[in-house]
Amino acid sequence: MICYDQEMRPEELLEAAKLICMAARTAPKGRGLDFLKTAILTGEDKARLAARMRDIAKRDNLSFFERDAGNVEQAGVLLLFGTRAQPMGLNGCGFCGRASCGDLATDGGLCAFNSGDLGIAVGSAASRAADLRIDNRILYSAGKAALELEIMGEDVRMILGMPLSVSGKSPFFDR
């Protein structure tokens, strides 16, 4: 049997996407508390998110959302990495700008450790994608669209997207 690289099936990219999500899952987290959620979007779900990105581009006059929607459409899969808003219980920390975690919860803010942990997890995911030599890009715009669609649930307050592509030239390079 001969299998040429152009015959790579979507299932194989999906398996790589799972490995990339595993790298995010095992990234270090503040106080060992895990508020990370991951999701893999394909097909109609990915198309619906790209459509919302185009809506946001028009609504908010943000042309890069349109460009990024094209990248999401070109990608084989889109990964989402989100964090729930959950204070760490480190009263007196003040890293979020409030006096206490109780004040943060009352204000409806996001714990600085939640966003920091998300960044570390996405960094681990990007590193794993690089190890696999899969083209990717971190997209705030895809995360905003996912938030508006509540794809990861209403308890998730910050999301970043990562489209994955396996092609002769990265669609994320000449932007």
pLDDT at 168: 83
DSSP 59-124: HHT-HHHHHHHHHHHHSSEEEEEEEE------TT--TTSSSSHHHHHHHT---HHHHHHHHHHHHH
pTM above 0.85, yes or no: yes
pLDDT at 90: 84
- What is the distance between the alpha carbons of residues 71 and 69, in angstroms, rounded to a whole number? 5
Which SS3 state, helix, strand or coil, does residue 161 take?
strand
Is domain 10-165 given the CATH code 3.40.50.10860 in the classification? Answer: no
Residue ranges in the chain modelled with pLDDT below 50: none
pLDDT at 114: 96
Beta strands in 120-165 (DSSP E): 135-136, 156-165
pLDDT at 77: 96
pLDDT at 11: 84
